Amino acid sequence: MNSTEEAFIFVLAMGAVILFCRALPFLLFFREGSADRKRGKAMGVFLDFVEKIVPPAAMTVLAFNALGGAFIGNIPGGLFVLAASVFTAVLHLWKKNFLVSICGGTAFYIILQRIITGSF
């Protein structure tokens, strides 16, 4: 078992690592006035590309992860997830609002699961 001093050092080290990981993107991709001119046009083009591509790519990975994990050993639960995913996509195409589609899809999933399984 670790002593109190070792535990304190461990907590401080992990806190520093987490702080560094959180601050690093802001340090690397800071865009304001003269800093943008120093880094040049290439950095601005790169950041525009990242801002456009990364959010949809991350959401796609998360959606496939949720759908893939839902069907492993649980077919009825997977069908609930699939129905809620389709509902979320249709709601987003209709309203074009991320918050409405995510909240609506989550509510639809919970209601569907509660109605079909009968657990209220």
Q: Is residue 15 part of a domain?
A: no
d(CA 58, CA 35): 28
| C-alpha distance from residue 99 to each of 45, 54, 67, 102, 111 (Å) | 28, 18, 20, 5, 18
Query: Is residue 55 one of the residues assigned to a domain?
Result: no
Asked if residue 108 is part of any domain, the answer here is yes
Residue range 97-109, pLDDT digits in tens: 888 998 999 999 8
- Residues 6+ positions from 4 with CB-CB distance below 8 Å: none
Distance CA 110, CA 87 (A): 12
Q: How many domains, in total, are found in the chain? A: 1
Provide the residue range defining the domain that includes 81: 71-120
13-70 pLDDT, tens digit per residue, is 999 999 888 888 777 766 655 455 555 566 677 777 777 888 888 888 888 887 777 7
